[in-house]
Each structure stands twice: as C-alpha cells, then as structure tokens.
Chain A
C-alpha cells in the first residue's frame, strides 16, 4: 500500500475544501453587493430558515454556508489523515487521529449545548 497516502489525501482535502468554501463565500458576497438591503447586519447562527433561505439564494445564508464549510475543512482533514493511516495499517496514528476527531466532535456537541 502507498505509504504516502495520508499526505496525498490531506493535501487534496485541504486544497479542494478551502477552494469550495471560498467560492461559496465569494458567491454570497457578490449577491450581497448586488442587493445589500436584503442583508441584516448582526450576528448569526444556523437559524430556523437557513435551508429555506439557502434555496432562495439569500446572500446571508450563502455566506453562512461558506463559513460553515470552511470551519468543517479541518474536521475533514483529520478524517482524511485518519483514513490514510488506517490504509497504511499504522495502528498508533490511526488511533491518535481517531481521538483528535472525537475531541473535535465533542467540541461541536459542547458548542451546540450553548445554544
């Protein structure tokens, strides 16, 4: 098995994950520039109407999606590293990646508990 699998998959996740989120962010900002009055200045969270607003190409919801995807890129990066180590049959680092992933998931649950 390719011993460099973890490096290759990590680089791919980093590259495409950040590019996709930035592209979505740019789309939302362009819509915001076209129609700035639709934007409610202030803080945000996912909100009740997030998906409905997203389908109707609301600039705020699209920027929200871009930011959320960007925040998730490191999560998928750790997942890719973990899968890479599993494929390379490196038990020690597969376990370490799994624990880091678990910490990240616990962090998200802790964050959700604050809502």
Chain B
C-alpha cells in the first residue's frame, strides 16, 4: 500500500510542476514509474497518457471559458495530431522497451533545451491574427502526435513553437490551444494501450488522481509563484532523467 501512496504524492507533485511550468506531466510520470518502480515502459506510457487527459481536461476548461484557446485552429491541427497519435500508439506495440527508453531520453534533452529558451508570454493575445503555413504546421503536429502516442508525452514543446514561430499565432493562444489539444491526442492512442492490456489499474488510478489534484492546485499557485528558478532547477532534473533513461535503454542500470 505504501508504494501507491508514494506514486500518488510524487505524481501530485509532478502535476503541480507541470501546471506551473506549462508542460505535460507525461515527461515525468513515464521515467518515474519506469526507473523507480520498475514498471514496464508500455504500462508507464499508458498511465502517463491517462494522466495527460485528466490534467489537460482540467486546465483546458479554463482556457476554453476564457476563449484563450483557438478551438478552430485546435480542431484543424487535431486532424494531424490524432492520426499521428494512432500510428504512434500502434508502433509502440511493435517497438521494444530499450528503443523507447533511448527515444524518450532524446526527447527529454530536446524539451530541456526548449524550456531554457522559453519565455513567458507577455503579448496581448486579443489582437487579431491569421494562422499561416498550415501544411508545415500540419506536418509538425503529425510528428508531435506521433511522439505523443509513442512515448506518452503531450507534445506541447513541439506544437507551441510550431504554432508561434511558423504559423504566427500569438504565444499565449498557441500555449492554450496546445493544451486544449493534448487530451484529444492522448485519447487517440490511449485506447490502443488499453486494449493491449497495458493499463495497470491501481497504478494508473493513484497516479492519475495525484496528477489531476496537483495540476488543479498548481493552476491556482501559478499567479503567486515566480517560475524562473523552478524552471532552471527543473531543466537540471529533466537532464538527469534523460541520462537515467538513456542508461536504462542501453541496459546500464545505475539504480
């Protein structure tokens, strides 16, 4: 019973961080369950995808109510992310754990670099804009969806820069729209894991509940906490996770 309490508390903490820093909890849940509790990576990915659905549903409600998320842009890009996620989820069933762990480590390094360069959105999101370069946006969204299905991550660090830098969508709207899309993308591949029998019920139950409650609390803390220092410490933690996952992928366990 103690291990479930630890999973609940740690996933709750991940939920707070993911909410404060605007990243999906999947980046942390999968390595945590795999490295600490030795849960097979496919089960960890399934847990992570369900947690993403829960946390993104909670935050997307706020973004939709405030009309910060662009539903039309989101649903259009979902064409690419959903198809990518289904293919990713299907491929994950064919790929061995070692290869997934190495790929996960590489994605963690990419996200760490992205987080160091990321700035807090300060521009006025209410000004009018017209999303541009849809074909390229589609292609990148497809890759984001594919990685989401394959590794159980949200794909925000891929979609947000694509929408902001390539499609010329304001950063606040890009972040909110990406968050709005997360749940649908995660759900598309989640069923593949579920029907392969890779959802570990007690672990998923406590992890999802912890992440949901943590993310809900984190969204209230967001306005009173300075995130710059947290972000830098977090990047160091992500790089440590990347190294651990890579070593596990090449069967060099350090724990």
Contact = CB atoms under 8 A, between A and B. Distances in A.
Interface of A: 4, 6-7, 10-11, 14-15, 17-18, 21-22, 25-26, 28-29, 32-33, 36, 39, 41-45, 60, 63-64, 66-68, 70-75, 77-78, 81, 93, 96-97, 99-100, 103-104, 106-108, 110-112, 114-115
Interface string B57-101: 110110011010001100110110011011001100100000000
A73 B134 CA distance: 27
B60 A14 contact: yes
Interface stretch (B102-110, B204-212, B228-236): B204-212
A41 B43 CA distance: 13
Interface residues of B, number: 49
B192 A67 contact: no
Interface stretch (B18-26, B157-165, B170-178, B182-190): B182-190
Contacts of A96: 75-76, 79
Interface string B29-63: 00000000000000100000010011001101100
Contacts, number: 150
Contact of B191 (A29, A36, A107): A107
B121 interface: no
Interface of B: 1, 43, 50, 53-54, 57-58, 60-61, 64-65, 67, 71-72, 75-76, 78-79, 82-83, 85-86, 89-90, 93, 183-184, 186-192, 194-202, 204-206, 208-209, 212
